[in-house]
Structure 1
Amino acid sequence: MTASSRGTNPGPSENADPLAALGDLPGVPGTVDSVRKAVDRVYGHRVMRRRSNEITSEAALRGARASAALAGADWALEEVRRRSDFGGEGEPRTVGAALRLTAEAGQLLGVWRQSPLRALARLHLVAAGGAAPDETVGRPRVAGEKVSEPLVELPLPDAEEVTGRLDGLARLLLRESRAPALVTAAVVHGELLALRPFGSCNGLVARAAERIVLVGSGLDPKSICPAEVGHAELGREAYLKALDGYASATPEGVAAWIAHCGHAVELGVRESTAVCEALQRGAA
């Protein structure tokens, strides 16, 4: 079971659906409703009826750029758009990893539904792209292995705890749940950031996994609402403060993290709405 579901201390009737219990936390139903309405509005935009593929492509690019920015490679959108060589060390490799993950996420929906852990392993393999020793790529870290994730400063769970919590998360995801997509996506994102199960690229993988849940759940089936853009726009300080709340495992902290993720999706909606408006004006 995840830290978040432990922290809510659900009653007996809720134990059968811990994720749904999180959806009932104070303030969360309102956040879920607000996000649903925002997503519905952009899907109803007249440009979406004719040019949805363009919106999806642009959202993917902007989402990847934003995820890379949160990982320390804050490049201008046009720089990401024009570059083709992402094999260099440092920031180019980070941007390349974010771009590869965004492309891969759409191919993993079926795998995710059957085996979330296998999908996560694939995401890490794609993200690492040869940057890490082969034996550490695509599997959770073992005792004694270090983690390179400078953005997140939470205490690092040991390898045994990582294994147990990943297994618990996977079991939750494979069960029937009435939990809203936003809640599930926020838990996946928060749990992966808190655990940092891989030796590298955990933030990039966590944000890609959030995207998979939002798309696969049907909330954002065309992947046009890049939450990564919202996370970056809200800033690292707010991101980490909200993550601290999730890691606290208190109802208030988890609800605040879900609200933060909801706001990020809404900002992603705003970004794609602006793209729709630009296309309608002939400016993009």
Structure 2
Amino acid sequence: MDPLAPLLNLADIADAVKGARAAVDGAYRHPALRRKGGQVAAEISLRCAVASASLLSGGYDLELVRSGTVLDPVLQGSLRVAESLPALAARWENAPRQVFARLHLLAATGLVPADALGRPAASLDRVCSYIVSRSGDPLIRAAVVHGELLALNAFGPVNGIIARAAARLTLVASGLDPRGLVASEEIHLAREPEYLGAAGAFATGTPDGIRSWLKHCTTATTMGAAIITEVGDLALA
């Protein structure tokens, strides 16, 4: 039995998943993705990397980052991770442990001793089993992988960056967000108290806690899809 399938039966979750999927599908029809898809993808990748790093280190100015003047190691690690995701997505469902090792190397260089890079401090067996078996709906799977990694704290000072990258990789590899354009990280940052509270609730393992996290993640996907439209409009302006 698929261990994640029952989560769709939690109150309002099936409708939230359906709405998030529709939002992504709609955003992918934006004309900018045909004409200036690379430009849109690069902008969203940058914004998501900055948002993910900001959730760890209190915030970075996007325009200063864009200018190349911010050399903080947390931010630089997040940028390296974001740049790597398109290539790593092809290996994600077959070799997630190798991808986790690579993500840790990219994110934590300069922050942890070299001999600790690529070595998680907690077992990733359950998380990897969800990824390899493609358990549940992709949105549910991405949320559970994300939440489990936050709770495990297997990657020390860059754990959040890797957890959010893992969620993005799950959606890319599943084909739901094949170009990695849904800017969920910006929504997590904009709704940081809710993000942290829902993640803590998920870690309790109760149905209400899991439902709270799934609701937050599906909302972040829906709102993150709207950012595709926003960036696409700017690209065509």
TM bracket, shorter-chain basis: over 0.9
Find the aligned partners of 1:267 and 1:77 in 2 and give their Cα distance: 19
Q: Which runs of 4+ in 1 moved over 6 A?
A: none
Measured after TM superposition, the shift of residue 176 of structure 1 is 4.8
Residue 174 (structure 1) aligned with residue 132 (structure 2): yes
Unpaired runs of 5+ residues, structure 2, are none
Find the aligned partners of 2:202 and 2:97 in 1 and give their Cα distance: 21
Taking every aligned residue pair, what percent have the same amino acid on both sides?
Answer: 38
Residue 254 (structure 1) aligned with residue 234 (structure 2): no
Measured after TM superposition, the shift of residue 220 of structure 1 is 0.6
Find the aligned partners of 2:40 and 2:215 in 1 and give their Cα distance: 25
Find the aligned partners of 2:66 and 2:146 in 1 and give their Cα distance: 26
Aligned with 2:180 (options 223, 226, 233): 223
AA of the residue aligned to 1:173: I
> Whose Rg is larger?
1
Find the aligned partners of 2:134 and 2:48 in 1 and give their Cα distance: 29
Q: Is the 8 A contact 1:245 1:257 kept in 2?
A: yes
Q: How many residues align?
A: 237
Distance 1:199 1:69, change over 3 A: closer
AA of the residue aligned to 1:214: L
Q: Return the structure number with greater helix share.
A: 2
For the residue of structure 1 that corresponds to 2:125, the secondary structure is helix
TM-score using structure 2 length: 0.95
AA of the residue aligned to 1:168: R
Aligned with 1:57 (options 29, 42, 59): 42
Find the aligned partners of 1:199 and 1:135 in 2 and give their Cα distance: 14
Residue 81 (structure 1) aligned with residue 39 (structure 2): no
TM-score using structure 1 length: 0.80
Find the aligned partners of 1:172 and 1:42 in 2 and give their Cα distance: 27
Measured after TM superposition, the shift of residue 242 of structure 1 is 0.3
Q: Is the 8 A contact 1:109 1:216 kept in 2?
A: yes
Find the aligned partners of 1:249 and 1:69 in 2 and give their Cα distance: 27
Q: Is the 8 A contact 2:81 2:106 kept in 1?
A: yes
AA of the residue aligned to 2:17: V
AA of the residue aligned to 1:186: A
Any idea what the Cα deviations from partners look like across 1:114-172, whole Å, max 9, x if unmatched?
1212211110111012321122111122xxxxxxxxxxxxxxxxxxxx32xx2122123
Find the aligned partners of 2:163 and 2:53 in 1 and give their Cα distance: 12
Q: Aligned residue for 1:211?
A: 168
Aligned with 1:99 (options 71, 79, 102): 79
Residue 122 (structure 1) aligned with residue 80 (structure 2): no
